[in-house]
Chain A
Amino acid sequence: MSTMAVPDVAVATVDEGFWTRNRKVGAILLALGVLSAVLFGALATDQQARFTLSETEGGAALEINGTIGAVGFGIITAAAGAALLAGVPKRWFTPLLGVGVVGFVLSFLCWQVSAAPAGQNFMPLVNVVRGTFILALPLIFGALAGVLCERSGVVNVAIEGQLLMGAFSGALFGSISGNVWVGLVAAALGGALISLLLAVFAIRYLVDQVVMGIVLNLLAVGVTGFLYERLMQTNAERYNSAPRFGTWEIPLLKDIPLLGPALFRGNIFLYLGLLLVLVIHIALFRTRWGLRTRSVGEHPTAADTLGVKVLGLRYRNVLLAGVVAGIGGASYTLALYSFTKNMIGGKGFIALAALIFGRWSPTGALLAALFFGFADQLGTYLGAINSIIPSQFLAMLPYLATILAVAGLVGRVRAPAADGKPYIKG
Chain B
Amino acid sequence: MTNPNPESGSPDKEPATEAQAAQTAAGGAGRAATMAAPKRPEPEGRPSLGRLFLDNLWAANTVTVTVLALVLAMIVGAILIIVSDPEVLATYSYITAQPTDALNASWTVVSEAYANLFKGAVFDPETFSGWLNGDNGWQAVLGPISETLTYTAPLVFTGLSVALAFRGGLFNIGAQGQATIGVILAALAGFLLPLPPVLHLLVALLAGAVGGAIWGFIPGILKARTGAHEVINTIMLNYIAVYFLSWIIVQNGVQNPDRSDAISKPVESSAQLPRLLGDNLRVHAGILLAVLATWFVAWLLNRSTLGFELRAVGANPDAARTAGISVTRTYVLIMVIAGLLAGLGGSQMVLGSTANALTPLVVAQIGFDGILVALLGRVKPWGVLLAALLFGALQAGGNRMQSYSGISLELVTVLQALIVIFIAAPALVKAIFQLRAARAARLQTSLAKGW
* Closest Cβ neighbor of A220 among chain B residues: B417
Q: Is the beta-carbon distance between B84 and A219 smaller than 8 angstroms?
A: no
Given the complex, which residues of B lie within 8 Å of A2, measured CB to CB? 444, 446-448
Given the complex, which residues of B lie within 8 Å of A230, measured CB to CB? 84-85, 408
B306 within 8 A of A: no
Q: Is the beta-carbon distance between B231 and A9 smaller than 8 angstroms?
A: no
Task: Give the residues from 101 to 151 in chain B that come closer than 8 angstroms, CB to CB, to chain A.
Answer: none
* Alpha-carbon gap, A346 to B223, bound state (A): 24
Given the complex, which residues of B lie within 8 Å of A337, measured CB to CB? none
Task: Give the residues from 221 to 237 in chain B that come closer than 8 angstroms, CB to CB, to chain A.
Answer: 222-229, 231-233, 235-237
Q: Given A352-B235, A415-B451 in contact, is the A201-B227 Cβ separation under 8 Å?
A: no
Of B90-98, B342-350, B422-430, the one touching chain A: B422-430
B244 within 8 A of A: yes
Given the complex, which residues of A lie within 8 Å of B351, measured CB to CB? none
Task: Give the residues from 333 to 356 in chain A that come closer than 8 angstroms, CB to CB, to chain B.
Answer: 341, 346, 349-350, 352-353, 356
The contact of B449 among A346, A349, A421, by CB within 8 Å, is A421
Q: Is the beta-carbon distance between A402 and B236 smaller than 8 angstroms?
A: yes
Q: Is the beta-carbon distance between A209 and B448 smaller than 8 angstroms?
A: yes
Given the complex, which residues of B lie within 8 Å of A176, measured CB to CB? none
The contact of B420 among A215, A228, A402, A406, by CB within 8 Å, is A215
Q: Is the beta-carbon distance between A396 and B239 smaller than 8 angstroms?
A: yes
**Per-residue CB proximity of A407-421 to B under 8 Å, as 1/0?**
110000001111111
Task: Give the residues from 412 to 451 in chain B that come closer than 8 angstroms, CB to CB, to chain A.
Answer: 412-418, 420-421, 424-425, 427-428, 444-451
Q: Is the beta-carbon distance between A155 and B450 smaller than 8 angstroms?
A: yes
Count chain B CB atoms within 10 A of each CB in A346, A396, A415, A418 and give the residue with the most: A396
Q: Is the beta-carbon distance between B450 and A419 smaller than 8 angstroms?
A: yes
* Alpha-carbon gap, A219 to B84, bound state (A): 16
The contact of B448 among A197, A390, A422, by CB within 8 Å, is A422
Q: Is the beta-carbon distance between B368 and A214 smaller than 8 angstroms?
A: yes
Q: Is the beta-carbon distance between B235 and A227 smaller than 8 angstroms?
A: no
B331 within 8 A of A: yes
A226 within 8 A of B: yes
* Closest Cβ neighbor of B371 among chain A residues: A214
Distance of A135 from chain B, by nearest CB (Å): 16
B328 within 8 A of A: yes
Given the complex, which residues of A lie within 8 Å of B365, measured CB to CB? 218
Task: Give the residues from 274 to 333 in chain B that come closer than 8 angstroms, CB to CB, to chain A.
Answer: 316-318, 327-328, 331
The contact of B233 among A155, A403, A420, by CB within 8 Å, is A403
**Per-residue CB proximity of A376-415 to B under 8 Å, as 1/0?**
0000000000000010110110011011001110000001
Given the complex, which residues of A lie within 8 Å of B368, measured CB to CB? 214, 218
Given the complex, which residues of B lie within 8 Å of A197, measured CB to CB? 421
Q: Is the beta-carbon distance between B232 and A421 smaller than 8 angstroms?
A: no
Given the complex, which residues of B lie within 8 Å of A420, measured CB to CB? 448-451
* Closest Cβ neighbor of A161 among chain B residues: B417
Given the complex, which residues of B lie within 8 Å of A349, measured CB to CB? 235, 238-239
The contact of B226 among A5, A12, A207, A214, by CB within 8 Å, is A12
B404 within 8 A of A: no
Q: Is the beta-carbon distance between A206 and B84 smaller than 8 angstroms?
A: no
Residues of A in contact (CB 8 Å), total: 66
Residues of B in contact (CB 8 Å), total: 64
* Alpha-carbon gap, A3 to B448, bound state (A): 6
A306 within 8 A of B: no
A255 within 8 A of B: no
Q: Is the beta-carbon distance between B448 and A406 smaller than 8 angstroms?
A: no
The contact of B446 among A207, A356, A408, by CB within 8 Å, is A207
A63 within 8 A of B: no
The contact of A223 among B80, B86, B318, B451, by CB within 8 Å, is B80
Q: Is the beta-carbon distance between B427 and A205 smaller than 8 angstroms?
A: yes
B261 within 8 A of A: no
Given the complex, which residues of A lie within 8 Å of B428, measured CB to CB? 201, 205
A237 within 8 A of B: no
* Closest Cβ neighbor of B421 among chain A residues: A215
Q: Is the beta-carbon distance between B413 and A419 smaller than 8 angstroms?
A: no
B171 within 8 A of A: yes
Q: Is the beta-carbon distance between B417 and A219 smaller than 8 angstroms?
A: yes
Distance of A394 from chain B, by nearest CB (Å): 9
**Which chain A residues have a beta carbon within 8 Å of chain B's beta carbons?**
2-12, 155, 157, 197, 201, 205-212, 214-216, 218-219, 221-223, 225-231, 235, 341, 346, 349-350, 352-353, 356, 390, 392-393, 395-396, 399-400, 402-403, 406-408, 415-422
**Which chain B residues have a beta carbon within 8 Å of chain A's beta carbons?**
80, 84-86, 169, 171, 173, 222-229, 231-233, 235-240, 242-244, 246-247, 316-318, 327-328, 331, 365, 368, 371-372, 375, 408, 410-418, 420-421, 424-425, 427-428, 444-451
**28 CB-based A-B contacts, threshold 8 Å:** A2-B444, A4-B316, A10-B224, A155-B451, A201-B428, A205-B424, A206-B448, A208-B445, A208-B446, A211-B445, A215-B420, A218-B372, A218-B413, A222-B412, A223-B410, A225-B410, A225-B413, A228-B410, A229-B410, A230-B85, A352-B232, A390-B247, A392-B247, A395-B243, A396-B243, A396-B244, A406-B229, A420-B448
